[in-house]
Amino acid sequence: QVQIVESGGGLVQPGGSLRLFCAASTSILSPYIMGWYRQAPGKPREFVARCTNSGNCTYADSVKGRFTISRDNAKNTVYLQMNSLKPEDTAVYYCNVRHFIDYWGQGTPVTVSS
């Protein structure tokens, strides 16, 4: 069983920054993948960024160069540093832990608006 807690969302102006935090409480020593997805109103959930437990990190094209994901295997935590935010980044951001099956956090909302 995996319990996920997220934090860090909020309201920010275009061009601003936010840092999302996710912690997974689990007996799994180092889940295979930890990452982030997002879901904007009226749209399907989409991949944002993820890291494997070996340190291989990948990003959606829409966030490359603006977002940075970092993972601490010892603590089962993952951060998402979001810079140069755009209105189209507005969404609920979900932490994902994948270890044979997917586990999801409750989501943290991010609103980019002036």
Residues 3-61: tens digit of each pLDDT: 999 999 999 999 999 999 999 998 877 889 999 999 999 999 999 999 999 999 999 99
Average pLDDT, the chain: 95
63 pLDDT above the threshold of 90: yes
Contacts of 34 (CB under 8 A, 6+ apart): 22, 24, 50, 51, 53, 71, 76, 78, 95, 96, 97, 98
The confidence score (pLDDT) of residue 28 equals 78
Contacts of 73 (CB under 8 A, 6+ apart): 30, 53
Nearest of 39, 48, 44 to residue 81 by alpha carbon: 48
Express each pLDDT in 25-38 by its tens digit. 988 778 899 999 99
Compute the average pLDDT of residues 79-106: 96
